[in-house]
Structure 1
Amino acid sequence: MKPHLIQPSATDTPSVQIQLLGRAPYSSRDPVRMHSLGIALQRQQGVHAIASDRRVDFDTWPGTLSHTPAGIEVFSESATGGEYLVLRYAPHEADAPGPSRRVSRTGQRAALQIALHLRRLLLCDRPDALAIEQSALRLLECSKSGPHIADAHPDAGYGRVLDRIAAEFDRPLRIADLSAMVDTSPLRFLREFTRRTGMTPHAWITETRLQAARAMLQSADLPLVQIALECGFNHQSHMGQAFRKHLGLTPGRYRQPKSPSLTP
C-alpha cells in the first residue's frame, strides 16, 4: 500500500508517513533515515540483522511495537511476511529524546487496537485524513509510555498454541483445549494469552480467519459462501460482519479491483 503522508501544510515536507504492508515474502534493507515505529498486526517469522551484519531468527507476534531511531540500519527477511503497520516520522524539537537503539515491547494491546483502527481507516474508499492523523499521533504516544526492552523471545508453549490456531483456524477451537497445551487453567490462559499477544484468543482466531479470507478473495475466484466456510466462519453473513467491523468493507467490495487506497 502506498504511504499515507501527513503534512503540516501544503508546502511542508511530510512529518509522518504511514504504510500498511501486506502479507508477502520479502527481503529488504532499510537504512531508516527517519525514525520508525512499527507494529505487527499478524505473526511474522524470519531473520533480521539490526545495526550489524549478524542475522538472527525472529518470531514477531501481533501487538509487538518496535521503535527504530534514525540511522539504525535494519535488514529483515521472511518467507511469508505478515501484515505490518509502520510510521516513519521526524521528531519534533519539543518532544522528549527517544531511545538511541532499536527497542520493542510485546503484548501492547492499546497500541494494537489503535493500529487495527488505522488499518480500517487506510482501507476505506475515502480515507478521512484527520482521523488518520489523530490515530497516528495516538499510536506515537503509545511508544512513549512504559519501559522499553530489547526484542524478547516469545514463550515456546504459547508459540505452540499459535501454531495450532494457524493450522486449525477453520475448525471450532475451545479455550479449554488451548489452555491444556500450556498446562494451565482456562481463566489464567485467557489472561496470559491476552497479556502476551495484545489480543484475546477469540480476537486472535477471528483475525486469523479474516487474514485467510482476505488472501483467498485476492487469489481465488471462489463463491463467498465457500470462502467463509473454508476460513472457519459459520456462514457468509458471519464473514461479512467481520469484514465490516474490522476493515470497513464488505467481502465483495474487498474483492473488487483495488484502487490505490484499497491495496493491502
Structure 2
Amino acid sequence: MLSRDILGGAVCVQLLPRAAYSAHDPAQWHTLGVTLERQTGIHAINSDHRVDFDTLPGVLAQTPIGVDVFSESMGGGEYLVLRMDRYFADQHLPALDQRIESAGHAGALRVAQQIRRALLAPQVDHLSLEQTVLSLVELAKPAQDRAHRLKSNALKPVLDQITELYQQPLTLEQMAGTYGCNALRLLRDFTRAVGTTPHAYLVEIRLQAARHLIETTDLALAIIALEAGFAHQSHMGSAFRQHLGITPSTYRRRTASSRR
C-alpha cells in the first residue's frame, strides 16, 4: 500500500493494491474512494446484513464519519481512497448521513489515475499531488446514479470476456457480439457505465496483470509483456509511461526495494 499524508495531515491518500482483504472501517474518517479495478466480494454498510458486491472501475464512493463499513474480497482490486478528518470534510463536502455512490464517473476515474501516477513517481511532487487530490474532492456529488448501475449489470458478460481474454487481440465487434448489439451502442453504453472506453479498460487490465507479474516473479520483461497481452516489450513500456508515468524496469526496481 502506498500512503501519503497531505494538506497538513488533514488528508491521507492511500493506493490500496489488488490483494485479498477483510476490512472493518472504524468510521473515524470521512472517506472518498474510487475503484481503479473491478472488484467482487461481500460488504455490510452500517448494518450486520452482508451482501455480495461486484464493483466496476469508475465508482466514486463517499462515506461520512459515523457510517460503519465492513468489506471482504478474495481477490481485491486496486482502489484509491482519501481519508479526511472531520474539519476538512465539513469545510469541503456536503453533510451526509449515509454512504453514497456514483457509478461510471469518468472524471473521478481520470483524476484517480492521475493521483496513482503521482504516488508511483520516483519523486513525489507534493504541490501537484495536493492540487489533484483537491480536484477529486471537488468532483464528489451527493447522488447515486442508478441508471449507470443498471447498465453495468448488463455489461458484466463483456467485462468477464475482457478479464478472461485480455491476452488476446480482442475487437470491438467481438465484444459487441457478447453484448448483443452493434459496436457503436456497446461503445456508448460501456463508456457511460464504466467511465472509460473498452480499449482503455482492456489496457488497464493488461497493466494490472503486468504489474502483478513484475511484483511477484523474476520473469524477463519481454516475457511479461506477452503474458499480459501486449504485442511486445516496447508496447508495454509505452503503456506504463503513458498511464503510470514510470517504466517497467523502474517499477521492478521500486517494488524489489519495497519487498526488501
User: What is the TM-score when the length of structure 2 is the normalising length?
Assistant: 0.93
More displaced, 89-98 or 169-178?
A: 89-98
Equivalent position of 1:11 in the other structure:
none
CA positional deviation for 1:160: 0.9
CA positional deviation for 1:157: 3.3
Q: Distance in 2 between matches of 1:15 and 1:47?
A: 30
More displaced, 221-230 or 104-113?
A: 221-230
Matched, 1:87 2:82: yes
Matched, 1:148 2:174: no
Q: Secondary structure at the match of 1:258?
A: helix
Are 1:107 and 1:196, in contact at CA under 8 Å, matched by a contact in 2? yes
* Equivalent position amino acid for 2:17 in 1: G
Equivalent position of 1:5 in the other structure:
5
Are 2:42 and 2:73, in contact at CA under 8 Å, matched by a contact in 1? yes
Matched, 1:20 2:15: yes
Q: Distance in 1 between matches of 2:229 and 2:164?
A: 11
Equivalent position of 2:30 in the other structure:
35
The structure with more helix, counted as a fraction of residues: 2
Equivalent position of 2:39 in the other structure:
44
Q: Secondary structure at the match of 2:52?
A: strand
CA positional deviation for 1:242: 0.5
Equivalent position of 2:49 in the other structure:
54
Shift in alpha-carbon separation, 1:154–1:99, aligned structure 2, 3 A: farther
Equivalent of residue 77 in structure 1, options 72, 75, 99: 72
Q: Secondary structure at the match of 1:116?
A: helix
Are 2:57 and 2:104, in contact at CA under 8 Å, matched by a contact in 1? yes
CA positional deviation for 1:152: 4.2
Correspondence 1:93-242 to 2 at 5 A: 93-95=90-92, 97-144=94-141, 147-148=143-144, 152=149, 155-242=152-239
Shift in alpha-carbon separation, 1:21–1:232, aligned structure 2, 3 A: same
Q: Distance in 1 between matches of 2:91 and 2:73?
A: 37
CA positional deviation for 1:223: 1.1
Are 2:6 and 2:130, in contact at CA under 8 Å, matched by a contact in 1? yes
CA positional deviation for 1:256: 1.2
The alignment's C-alpha RMSD in Å is 1.9
Q: Distance in 1 between matches of 2:32 and 2:190?
A: 24
Q: Which sections of structure 2, spanning at least 5 residues, go unmatched?
A: none
CA positional deviation for 1:147: 3.0
More displaced, 120-129 or 251-260?
A: 251-260
Equivalent position of 1:252 in the other structure:
249
Shift in alpha-carbon separation, 1:170–1:228, aligned structure 2, 3 A: same
Q: Which sections of structure 1, spanning at least 5 residues, go unmatched?
A: 9-13
Q: Distance in 1 between matches of 2:197 and 2:254?
A: 33
Are 1:229 and 1:235, in contact at CA under 8 Å, matched by a contact in 2? yes
Shift in alpha-carbon separation, 1:53–1:217, aligned structure 2, 3 A: same
How many pairs are equivalent?
A: 256
User: What is the TM-score when the length of structure 1 is the normalising length?
Assistant: 0.92
Q: Distance in 1 between matches of 2:70 and 2:149?
A: 18
Q: Secondary structure at the match of 1:100?
A: coil
CA positional deviation for 1:96: 5.5
Shift in alpha-carbon separation, 1:96–1:122, aligned structure 2, 3 A: closer
Q: Secondary structure at the match of 2:186?
A: helix
Are 1:59 and 1:154, in contact at CA under 8 Å, matched by a contact in 2? no
